């Protein structure tokens, strides 16, 4: 596995190999369907690259890499039920295609399957890998619960929002790199550093996702302004609310459900406020801060600098930055 | 821990000790609520007694015993959503009390918590315990899916039904005794035998549950005839269908939803058919066959006969048999 393309294709092959029983079909078919759905494979890539930072036979890390990807897809499957999302990566979501009960149960089976993949790591590393995985998995659930809680809350602070996305997004990236590094023989200190790297990278990544949803990017397949039309409490919205006067706050609170406005007018109204309050610039600043912090942590690992190159390059490409 | 009461109270104490974070409340409160719901604690009791068949310091087996009980309660929590069941052990089910999304997510967290408990078994036994647990958990999901599939099928055979309850009920009892025995130092052969013991015991237990639902028992807190009124495909119904002529089958198929009949008339109509076709006697025969088989396996374990006494007594009391 010399290139990232080769690593990615090894991950895809490994995931596609999963040999589920034919019966009961409604339990196993949705798992194969979910795993064939594509995506960036960000989490297994990070696990593989973390492993590769400390060891060379990357093949060894594939089952654990698959475990974090299966776990991630399990969370998407159940989140789609909770969010009533009918589409996932351009295809019907599992609950839209097979119904709610099938989605609940096949999601459960998928979580168990993630543990089955994880259980194949070398026995002497299993206790540590399992503990890391369990803590990560529980924190991801906490993040999802906070995310749902926020929908009911009238006011969410920036600090609360950052804590939520750290749990919902960063913690899984952190689990992936820590397990990868651990399997590659990294010291506890290097594992802790890589954890911090992934936390910061995940925050940068999520804030960029928030920004792109409203301000777009040709790499993004989805329409601009979805978060605004849903009235979602994103970093942009929360930052704007924290800087706005009461009259402006009322605009932010109500524009998305104003029956007198068309969708594009709603988006324009909210973005006009964002622009006036310098929200895009502040968001970009926060993204850069987090991302630079992540990269600088890579320099402190106790390996030859050349060994961190791939992880650095991957993080750069993930954030759409030129090398 | 000299008596079963002491073992049970050790299990209750261990479960009650679980120290969940206060936040997010909607994630963790339902887990505590579910675990405080009581029940027989059949699965952890079996794990403890299996451990006690081979070793003496039963305290050691408590985390694994808690893991299987937490897993069992996770399945109940998610099954209640799928079955739209509003009541569990006389209290509102989690989804009835907190809503569907909270039930899905706190169930997920509960499954992860079961793995966290399991991860504390001695490191040298963890790979084997985890593999046993994973296989068990996936099979329980298969059983639940078959159970849901059966609701849509017009005809279910006795063989199919036995396979379903083996997966849905027996496999979890088997996982519990195998993990308990393994932790207690049992040989692979003794583990295999205890697995078979638990499979047979589980089948006897489930068939007895089916029988009691229609024919009652003062120990049972619920009203008689619930399965009949729901049109459930139980062992009794499937056996009756396999023995009835076409006219009688039509009665069995339609009585439960006949608007001209009161509930007690529906129950009486179906039970009249059961009685005429000797279904209660055949079911009791099957229960005894399975239960005797289970007990005879205990005699073949490579331990002094006195060490199997507690497990035997517990199985007897579970099935309501006198020693």
The tens digit of pLDDT for each residue in A54-69 reads 999 999 999 999 999 9
Query: Which of A105, A113, A136 to probe by mutation at the B interface, max B CB count within 10 Å?
Result: A105
Full DSSP string of B90-128: TEE-HHHHH-HHHHHHHHHHHHHHHHHHHTTS-GGGHHH
In this predicted model, what pLDDT tens digit does every residue of A247-265 receive, in sequence order?
999 999 999 999 999 999 9
Beta carbons of A108 and B141 less than 8 Å apart: yes
Calculate mean pLDDT across residues A20-35: 95
Question: Is pLDDT of A10 > 90?
Answer: yes
Which of A81, A112, A134 has the CB atom closest to B141's CB atom?
A112
Task: Give the mean model confidence (pLDDT) for residues A126-138.
Answer: 98
Q: How far is the C-alpha of B320 from the C-alpha of B310, rounded, in Å?
A: 15
Kind of pairing between the strands at A87-88 and B87-88: unpaired
A154 pLDDT above the threshold of 60: yes
**In this predicted structure, what is the pLDDT of residue B293?**
98
Q: Each residue of B183-233: pLDDT tens digit? A: 999 999 999 999 999 999 999 999 999 999 999 865 555 568 999 999 999
Mean pLDDT of A222-228: 83
Establish whether this prediction's ipTM goes over 0.90: yes
Low-confidence ranges of chain B (pLDDT < 50): none
Interface of A with B (CB under 8 A): 21, 23-24, 26-27, 78, 81-82, 101-102, 104-105, 107-109, 111-113, 115-116, 119, 123-124, 126-127, 130-131, 134, 137-138, 141-142, 144-146, 148-149
Question: What mean pLDDT is predicted for residues A269-286?
Answer: 97
Q: Flag the least confident range among A30-39, A147-156, B136-145, B221-230.
A: B221-230
Rg value, chain B, Cα: 20
Interface test with A, best of B81, B84, B99, B138 (most A CBs within 10 A): B138
Across the interface, do B130 and A127 touch by the CB < 8 Å criterion?
no
With CB atoms and an 8 Å threshold, state whether A26 touches B149. yes
pLDDT tens track for A67-79: 999 999 999 999 9
Chain B residues touching A116 at Cβ < 8 A: 131, 134, 138
What is the residue whose two structure tokens read 């109204």? A269
Q: What is the pLDDT of residue B305?
A: 95
3-state secondary structure of B122: coil
State which H helix or E strand residue B89 sits in.
none
Query: In Å, how far is B272's CA from the nearest CA of chain A?
Result: 34
CB atoms B115 and A130 under 8 Å:
yes
A207 Cα distance to chain centroid: 11
Does the structure show a pLDDT above 60 at A218? no
């Amino acid at each position: 596995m010399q290139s990232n393309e080769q690593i990615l294709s090894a991950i895809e092959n490994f995931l596609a190999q999963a040999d589920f029983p034919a019966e009961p079909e409604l339990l196993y078919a949705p798992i194969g369907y979910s795993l064939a759905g594509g995506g960036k494979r960000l989490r297994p890539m990070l696990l593989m690259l973390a492993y590769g930072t400390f060891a060379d036979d990357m093949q060894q890390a594939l089952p654990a890499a698959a475990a974090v990807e299966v776990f991630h897809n399990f969370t998407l499957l159940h989140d789609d039920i909770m969010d009533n999302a009918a589409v996932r990566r351009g295809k019907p979501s599992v609950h839209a295609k097979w119904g709610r009960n099938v989605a609940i149960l096949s999601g459960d089976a998928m979580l168990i399957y993630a543990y089955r993949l994880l259980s194949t790591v070398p026995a002497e590393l299993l206790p540590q890998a399992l503990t890391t995985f369990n803590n990560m998995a529980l924190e991801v659930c906490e993040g999802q619960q906070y995310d749902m809680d926020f929908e009911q809350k009238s006011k969410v602070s920036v600090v609360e929002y950052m804590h939520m996305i750290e749990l919902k997004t960063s913690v899984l990236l952190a689990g992936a790199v820590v397990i990868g590094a651990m399997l590659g023989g990294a010291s506890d200190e290097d594992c802790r550093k890589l954890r911090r790297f992934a936390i910061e990278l995940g925050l940068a990544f999520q804030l960029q996702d928030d920004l792109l949803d409203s301000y777009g990017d040709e790499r993004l397949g989805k329409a601009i302004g979805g978060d605004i039309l849903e009235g979602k409490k994103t970093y942009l919205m929360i930052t704007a609310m924290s800087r706005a006067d009461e009259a402006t706050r009322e605009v932010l609170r109500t524009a998305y459900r104003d029956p007198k406005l068309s969708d594009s007018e709603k988006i324009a109204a909210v973005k006009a406020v964002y622009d006036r309050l310098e929200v895009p610039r502040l968001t970009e600043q926060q993204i850069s801060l987090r991302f630079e912090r992540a990269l600088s942590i890579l320099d402190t690992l106790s390996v030859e600098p050349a060994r961190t190159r791939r992880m650095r390059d991957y993080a750069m490409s993930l954030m759409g930055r030129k090398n």
